[in-house]
Structure 1
């Protein structure tokens, strides 16, 4: 009597339980953050991501480095800057998981296919 269906059933049950625990830890950014675009259309709001495997937060002037390495960014009003960390050591690998959530796809390769990335969220917020 074939028994491969037992293995498939077990794998399916495990995948469902794993996905359920993933979903419980998610925060919906659309519910937590709001952005109201101006009624008259486009405003001067810009969202800039500084991405690069050679850019380190501890060498950026806007984050306290003693040399002025980011003079143009420092001139921007309403600038929000924070320490960023990459989820991998190569840009190609990092970009896939960088904009999903902490951990990216390292423990679940299907995660990036199932969740919205930051760009989809920004679009839904009106950017």
Structure 2
């Protein structure tokens, strides 16, 4: 009887150690994914802001150049460029809204690893119970 309880507690300790090690690995994976996503978003923000500044300055200079070249038609030129900028802004706003609704895939690796762990635990439990493993 004492032998069985010692075996039970040893098995329980191994199970607990395995669960702690698995949890540690999954937390490390989660941390790595968060760090990668933070770096990606920071780079995206920096390059986007820089591109926006350069594009804005370039567009203002282009409008000024066209208006200076065709000074007699400056009202039409400013109206056309205003419509172009407003249309472009609306199109970009619609695109940004569409992209904001899309799932990012963040934590996809962690979720798949946790799913694999769950399936492995179910298979081990079914084997211990003497059943066929569930898919």
TM-score (normalised: structure 2): 0.30
Task: From the two aligned structures, give the one with the greater helix fraction.
Answer: 2
